[in-house]
Each structure stands twice: as structure tokens, then as C-alpha cells.
């Protein structure tokens, strides 16, 4: 822990197919996880997992982007790239969480929303925007945790939270370094340079106040390290939920609004 590595090296760590997935963290952090399915409109898209879990006596609604490890799993999970029905499923369970006064925990880990023709035909952009809109006005506490590759609107769609945590070697950005260099310099080979300029590491984003907490992790995570990282995430969740339970519903919404308004003003400066 603590070794300084380049932004591009962090991108490679975040993309490592052996990196722990959302379901790994969910099963380690929460008790009695029950997965819930479907958007009640089109189908159950498995790039986002939704369900219920507990920490002690506290119930949570969990929404998580899920990649696969094997080729078969990745095809089933659409390589962790959600279709619009994933976001509509997430919205459905956000509203259910509000109805039953359950805090919402989201896990962010995606290359981005799926850009296929079918996804566009079914309203991908609208689904992402609606997810962000609904999250912004939820009356229950929301915590988002960036555990791997958080890229593009696909990540931001479930990232409108009161508090955003980020693993030390995760990344969080509006697009990939390859996409950035292609758009800005018309040269995708400059991706390493782009990664440095994009400020996509946890350290950069913490200094910009985009995220609220960096969760330490080793470069190469062993099982004992994973158990500690999971426990650290659990402790932070419990601490923040305990604090936010003392707030009124209006204060919970106002805190979330102020967080993102302050980020906007900081960027505009």
C-alpha cells in the first residue's frame, strides 16, 4: 500500500479481469443478500444487479454494476455495460427503497453504458438521465462506491449520492483515456498522457472534492487484503448511515444537492 504509480497503471489495475467484482463485495459486506430482478417493462439486464441486504439490523437496497470473469459470464453480463433496462430496474428499486425507508448503496464498475443500436432504440440516454434525476431527489441516504472502472454516463447514472467512496486503485471519469485522446488530439495512441491529464485517480478526485473518501487497498489484492478492504467499506457505510439517519428527509436531499452544486462551482472556477 502507498506505492506511487502512474494514472495509466491505475487504469490497468482497475480493468484487471481478476479484480474483485461488485458481487464479491456485496457478499462480503452484507448479510442475507437477496437479488431482485426486472424493470417490469422489457427484461432483466444482468449488467446491473439489484437486491436487498443487511448490516446488523439495518436493511439496505443495493444497486451494483457487475462484470464477469470468464467469457461466458461477460457475455451474460454484457461485459458490465448496462442497457437502458438496467437503469430502469435500478430506478424501480430506488423508488422501492424510498417507500420502505431503506438507504441505497451503489457499486460502480463499468466501461460505460452499452452503446449498441438496440440500447439506443430503447432510450439509453433518457434512461441514464432519468436515473440521475431520480437519485438526486431520493429522500433516503445514498452512498456510492467506485470499486473498479467508473467510466462515462454509465457510471455517473448510479453515482448521484450523498457520499462517494472510491477504492485507492479505482478510476472515475467521463470517458476512457483512449476516447479522450481520440477526441482531443485525434490520436488514440496518446492514452497514457490522457490518463494523467484526466484527473481520474482517487487521489485527484479527492482533492477536487468529487469523492469523499479513499478506501486504501494494495496493488495486488490477496484474500486477507480483500477481507480488510471489505471491512473498511462496511465501517464507512455504518458510520455515514448512522450520521444521515439523524437528518430529516429534506436535509438528506439538500446535502446531496449541495455536494454536486459545490463540485460544479469548483470546476467552473
Of residues 150, 65, 139, 61, the one with CA closest to residue 105: 61
pLDDT of residue 84: 96
pLDDT of residue 188: 86
Q: How many residues does the chain have?
A: 269
pLDDT of residue 4: 77
The continuous run of DSSP H or E covering 98 comes out as helix 84-99
pLDDT of residue 1: 44
- Cβ partners under 8 Å of residue 151, min gap 6: 110, 111, 112, 171, 172, 173, 174, 175, 176
pLDDT of residue 261: 86
pLDDT of residue 267: 61
Pick the CATH number of 7-268 from 3.60.20.10, 3.40.50.620, 3.90.1150.10, 3.90.226.10: 3.90.226.10
Burial 188-212 (b: 16+ CB within 10 A, else e): eebbebbbeebebbbebbeeeebbb
pLDDT in tens, the chain (269 residues): 445 789 999 999 999 999 999 999 999 999 999 999 999 999 999 999 999 999 999 999 999 999 998 999 999 999 999 999 999 999 999 999 999 999 999 999 999 999 999 999 999 999 999 999 999 999 999 999 999 999 989 999 999 999 999 999 999 999 999 999 999 999 989 999 999 999 999 999 999 999 999 999 999 889 999 999 999 999 999 999 999 999 999 999 999 999 988 876 666 65
Count of C-beta atoms within a 10 Å radius of residue 265: 9
Predicted structure pTM score: 0.94
Domain ranges of the chain: 7-268
Amino acid at each position: 500500500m502507498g506505492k506511487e504509480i502512474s494514472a495509466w497503471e491505475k487504469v490497468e489495475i482497475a480493468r484487471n479481469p481478476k479484480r474483485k467484482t461488485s458481487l464479491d463485495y456485496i457478499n462480503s459486506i452484507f448479510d442475507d443478500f437477496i437479488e431482485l430482478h426486472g424493470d417490469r417493462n422489457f427484461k432483466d439486464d444482468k449488467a446491473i444487479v439489484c437486491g436487498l441486504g443487511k448490516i446488523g439490523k439495518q436493511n439496505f437496497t443495493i444497486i451494483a454494476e457487475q462484470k464477469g470473469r470468464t467469457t461466458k459470464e461477460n457475455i451474460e453480463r454484457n461485459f458490465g455495460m448496462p442497457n437502458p433496462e438496467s437503469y430502469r430496474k435500478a430506478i424501480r428499486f430506488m423508488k422501492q427503497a424510498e417507500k420502505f425507508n431503506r438507504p441505497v448503496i451503489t457499486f460502480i464498475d463499468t466501461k460505460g453504458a452499452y452503446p449498441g443500436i438496440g440500447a439506443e432504440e430503447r432510450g439509453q440516454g433518457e434512461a441514464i438521465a432519468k436515473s440521475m434525476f431520480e437519485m438526486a431527489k431520493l429522500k433516503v441516504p445514498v452512498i456510492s462506491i467506485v470499486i473498479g472502472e467508473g467510466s462515462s454516463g454509465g457510471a455517473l447514472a448510479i453515482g448521484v449520492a450523498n457520499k462517494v467512496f472510491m477504492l485507492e486503485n479505482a478510476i472515475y471519469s467521463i470517458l476512457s483515456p483512449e476516447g479522450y485522446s481520440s477526441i482531443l488530439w485525434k490520436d488514440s495512441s496518446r492514452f497514457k498522457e490522457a490518463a494523467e491529464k484526466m484527473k481520474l485517480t482517487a487521489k485527484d478526485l479527492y482533492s477536487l472534492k468529487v469523492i469523499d473518501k479513499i478506501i486504501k487497498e494494495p496493488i495486488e489484492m490477496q484474500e486477507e487484503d480483500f477481507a480488510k478492504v471489505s471491512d473498511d467499506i462496511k465501517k464507512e457505510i455504518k458510520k455515514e448511515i448512522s450520521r444521515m439517519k439523524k437528518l430529516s428527509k429534506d436535509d438528506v436531499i439538500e446535502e446531496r444537492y449541495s455536494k454536486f452544486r459545490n463540485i460544479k462551482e469548483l470546476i467552473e472556477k
